[in-house]
């Protein structure tokens, strides 16, 4: 298995998704977050937010809501069972709240290998903008692909 | 509700109050699969995980990163969080007990903001770091 470095620079089709209260509630249940600002609009407003805020790493649920889910793996022609998450970085530029319509645009920034091609690394960045076109966050992820051929040698 | 410390009161080396999580359960991974929209079966379907060479399902890296987020927002209100990033350094298995901890590594003023840099990490019950991250928060 070898990844195609010509895919560096590839831009995915942007998509827009609405931040939903019910999905944030499920996310908070999953991560054990019990702060009422994430589930109760009155508590959020009392704390100074204009609506329920999305928890910091909820942005992963926003970027995962791509109708063309799995686009990166299809582009790379990689099976989902071979990937691991190497790194993730979020930069927060403005708050994201319930009701916001967030547009995500992902781009492949780099592709490289280590250990003689046993592991491949795919760096991608996603820009998130709100309904006014204002950037609200940047997400940078590194996906690690385990080369199934390396194990057979 | 986090009440942020004052910039002037923060010192490099200050520690954040750690959070000890309940053992990771299969149920939690199922909830996180739905809640995060990460539907990779490797985290919830043991047959699939074994097919790809793993002994069992394992936690989403992003679930542990959410624990880092919980630590940071227990230190300052979320509106003051500027950056959170991490490397995923080892796998978190079902049953692992994760502790999230952090400390202040730097203070600086930049673009009119008073910023504090944090080292944040997840450590398992064997003392092994599973996530090694960093965060930046703005204080008054």
pTM of the predicted model as reported, rounded to 2 decimal places: 0.97
Nearest to A60 among B62, B72, B83 (CB): B62
Distance CA A63, CA A139 (A): 9
pLDDT of residue A150: 84
For residues A111-127, give the mean pLDDT: 97
Question: d(Cα B50, Cα B68) in Å, to the nearest integer?
Answer: 29
B62-107: pLDDT as tens digits: 999 999 999 999 999 999 999 999 999 999 999 999 999 999 999 9
> CB of A95 within 8 Å of any CB in chain B?
yes
The reported pLDDT for the residue numbered A131 is 98
Q: Can you give the pLDDT at residue A151?
A: 65
**ipTM exceeding 0.90, yes/no:** yes
Minimum distance, in Å, between the CA of residue B14 and any CA atom of chain A: 22
Find the CB nearest B67 among A31, A80, A90: A31
**Mean pLDDT, residues A140-148:** 96
Q: Which of B28, B66, B83 sits opposite A57 (nearest CB)?
A: B66
Contact B35 A56 (CB under 8 A): no
Number of folded domains that form chain A? 1
Q: What is the pLDDT of residues B5-57, one digit of tens each?
A: 999 999 999 999 999 999 999 999 999 999 999 999 999 999 999 999 999 99
Does residue A73 lie within any of the structural domains?
Answer: yes
Contact B119, B105 (CB under 8 A): yes
Q: Report the pLDDT value the prediction gives residue A15, as an integer from 0 to 100.
A: 98
Interface test with A, best of B69, B102, B135 (most A CBs within 10 A): B69
Is the pLDDT at B1 greater than 70? The verdict is no
CB–CB of A31 and B87 under 8 A? no
Of B22, B36, B52, nearest to A81 by CB-CB distance is B52
Beta bridge partners of A139: A90, A126
- Under the banding of pLDDT at 50, 70 and 90, the label for residue B3 is confident
Q: Is-contact A11 A93, C-beta < 8 A?
A: no
Q: Does B40 touch chain A (CB under 8 A)?
A: yes
Any domain includes A129: yes
Q: Does residue A57 have a pLDDT over 90?
A: yes
Q: What is the average pLDDT across A47-73?
A: 96
Contact B68, A94 (CB under 8 A): no
Which CATH number characterizes residue A80's domain?
3.10.129.10
Phi then psi dihedrals of residue B39, to 5 deg: -95, 20
Subunit contact B86:A89, Cβ cutoff 8 A: yes
A86 assigned to some structural domain: yes
- For residue A13, the enclosing domain spans 5-19+56-152
Tens of pLDDT, residue by residue over A1-13, are 899 999 999 999 9
Residue A120 lies in a domain: yes
Would you say residue A153 has pLDDT above 80? no
Rg (CA), chain B: 17
Does A67 touch chain B if contact means CB atoms closer than 8 Å? Answer: no
Would you call B73 and A90 a contact, using CB atoms and an 8 Å cutoff? Answer: no
Note the CATH number of domain B7-139: 3.10.129.10
Domain contains A139: yes
Is B78 in the A-facing interface, judged by CB distances under 8 Å?
Answer: yes
Chain B partners within 8 Å of A37 (Cβ): 1, 78
C-beta atoms of B36 and A61 within 8 A? yes
Contact A48 B79 (CB under 8 A): yes
Q: Does A114 touch chain B (CB under 8 A)?
A: no
Quick check: is A42 in a domain? no
- Which three-class secondary structure state does DSSP give residue B16? coil
Tell which residue, A122, A131, A138, has the closest CA to residue A59: A138
A42 versus A148: the higher-pLDDT residue is A42
Q: What is the mean pLDDT of residues A104-124?
A: 97
């Amino acid at each position: 298995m070898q990844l195609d470095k010509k895919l560096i620079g590839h831009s995915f089709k942007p998509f827009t998704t609405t931040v939903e209260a019910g999905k944030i509630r499920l996310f908070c249940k999953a991560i054990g977050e019990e702060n009422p600002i994430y589930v109760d609009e009155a508590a959020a407003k009392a704390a100074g937010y204009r609506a329920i805020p999305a928890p910091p790493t909820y942005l992963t649920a926003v970027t995962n809501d791509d109708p063309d889910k799995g686009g990166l793996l299809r582009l790379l022609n990689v099976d989902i069972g071979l990937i691991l998450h190497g790194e993730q970085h979020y930069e927060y530029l403005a708050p994201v709240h319930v009701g916001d319509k967030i547009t995500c645009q992902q781009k492949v920034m780099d592709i490289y290998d280590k250990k003689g091609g046993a592991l491949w690394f795919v760096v991608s960045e996603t820009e998130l903008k709100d309904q006014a076109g204002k950037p609200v966050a940047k997400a940078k992820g590194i996906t690690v692909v385990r080369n199934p051929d390396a194990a057979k040698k | 509700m986090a009440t942020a410390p004052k910039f002037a009161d923060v010192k490099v080396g200050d520690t954040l109050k750690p959070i000890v999580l309940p053992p990771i359960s299969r149920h939690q991974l199922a909830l996180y699969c739905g809640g995060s929209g990460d539907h990779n079966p490797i985290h919830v379907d043991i047959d699939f995980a074994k097919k790809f060479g793993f002994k069992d399902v394992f936690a989403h890296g992003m679930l542990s990163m959410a624990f880092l987020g919980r630590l940071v927002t227990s230190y300052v209100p979320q509106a003051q969080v500027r950056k959170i990033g991490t490397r995923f350094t080892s796998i978190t298995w079902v049953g692992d007990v994760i502790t999230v901890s952090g400390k202040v590594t730097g203070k600086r003023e930049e673009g009119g903001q008073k910023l504090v840099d944090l080292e944040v990490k997840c450590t398992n019950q064997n003392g092994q770091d599973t996530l090694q991250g960093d965060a930046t928060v703005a204080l008054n």
